[in-house]
Structure 1
Amino acid sequence: MTDDFRRVVTAVDGDGHSVVDSDGLPPVVISPRHSDQFLTAIWTVDELPTSYTAPGDRDGFRLAPAAGGVNIIRNKLPPDSAVYVDADGSPRPVGDDENLHRTATVDFICVLEGELWLVLEGDDDVHLRAGDCVVQRGTVHAWRNRTDEPTTFLAVLIDADEDTLPAAPIGPEAL
């Protein structure tokens, strides 16, 4: 499985005309939990309001945006049966609290392809399909792909005022 897709970035040239600044694969892709998972940094905004000329690519991957900033990330997530395996490589049950985390961000999640489960504390799992969107506001959560096919979703993470977060961030900040 790969996550080759095209990212087009526009700009305004010295004569004030719209031009293509770059066209191709985004430069930063990581596989944090599994070799078939791809987190791709689409664009990073370090502060709002932002400048039209501010660069959006960074060295290395950063999930959490800068203070007052925004990160736009594409996540291609393999099936749970590929991610959660035992020592022999066979699928294993996923623990109820496995990979639960909370980030100090307000997130906008949109499923682009496949199916995705938003796991919250308790029994509030939410089954999402392509086109479905989630607004997540500082909740403890995890993402699951309970199908046999990869799923792809877009995440826009906006830095939030930690003083308004209902509880402290927990666990690794990982999508």
Structure 2
Amino acid sequence: MRVRRVVAGNDARGKSVLLSDGAVPNSHDFESMPGQAQARVWFTAGPPVTTPPGSEPTSNTGPVVPGFGGASFVIVQYAPDSVVTDPRFDAERAGEVATYAPDIAEASDPAEPGMHRTPSVDYGVVLDGEIWLELDDGTQTRLTRGDTIVQIGGRHAWRNKTDRPAAVAFVITGTGG
């Protein structure tokens, strides 16, 4: 997935300047799940500051969910559910999720694939396609382009019942528990 990231901030004199403009440096297209991808746009581990970071704040293999007071901006492209229900799907190769989204993989319920709970409040907007939010009680809510979601620490899963990928932008804020 290719996503452009423009970062603006302040120089040493306090004047607003363009700090960078280019492709998100940490994104991954999942080989085991065609159509699944993530772009790590920005990551702040703890409470944000207005001083630009000294180095790249994102990582392809670090946590997705920040600590208390932190924020993570990630765009996720969800493959159609048919990718993982296809008899040719290799679940062992899907272990790459543990490499590229380790905390999400750890928070996932192996008995109910896709279901997970993170210590965060997540704000999302559907950028493309349609996606279903599934909750513990079995409720599934369909979201389409432009729809928004606020997920307050509840156990949930994202389901793509269509035949094409769906993209959702999330700002994930860490609650610390």
Give the alignment's TM-score, normalised by structure 2. 0.77
What residue is the counterpart of 2:153 in the other structure? 138
What residue is the counterpart of 2:78 in the other structure? 77
Name the stretch that deviates more: 56-65 or 107-116: 56-65
What residue is the counterpart of 1:92 in the other structure? none
Name the stretch that deviates more: 15-24 or 122-131: 15-24
Root mean square deviation of aligned Cα: 2.4
Which residue among 108, 111, 114 is the counterpart of 2:129?
Answer: 114
Which secondary structure does the structure 2 equivalent of 1:67 belong to?
coil
Maintained 8 Å contact 1:7/1:42: yes
Give the distance between the partners of 1:155 and 1:105, measured in 2 at CA.
Answer: 11
- The code of the aligned residue for 1:10 comes to A
Which secondary structure does the structure 1 equivalent of 2:82 belong to?
helix
- Runs (4+) of structure 1 exceeding 4 A deviation are none
- The code of the aligned residue for 1:81 comes to S
- The code of the aligned residue for 2:88 comes to A
What residue is the counterpart of 2:99 in the other structure? none
Give the distance between the partners of 2:48 and 2:21, measured in 1 at CA.
Answer: 25
What residue is the counterpart of 1:48 in the other structure? 47
What residue is the counterpart of 2:38 in the other structure? 39
Gaps of 5+ in 2: 91-110
Maintained 8 Å contact 1:68/1:160: yes
Task: Give CA deviations for 1:52-108 in whole Å, capped at 9, x if unaligned.
Answer: 32356234332121333111110011211223322378xxxxxx9322111111111
Maintained 8 Å contact 2:117/2:153: yes
Greater helix percent: which structure? 2
Number of residue equivalences: 155
Which residue among 130, 138, 142 is the counterpart of 1:127?
Answer: 142
Give the alignment's TM-score, normalised by structure 1. 0.77
Which secondary structure does the structure 2 equivalent of 1:50 belong to?
coil
What residue is the counterpart of 1:29 in the other structure? 27
Matched, 1:14 2:12: yes
Give the distance between the partners of 2:14 and 2:48, measured in 1 at CA.
Answer: 21
Give the distance between the partners of 1:161 and 1:46, measured in 2 at CA.
Answer: 11
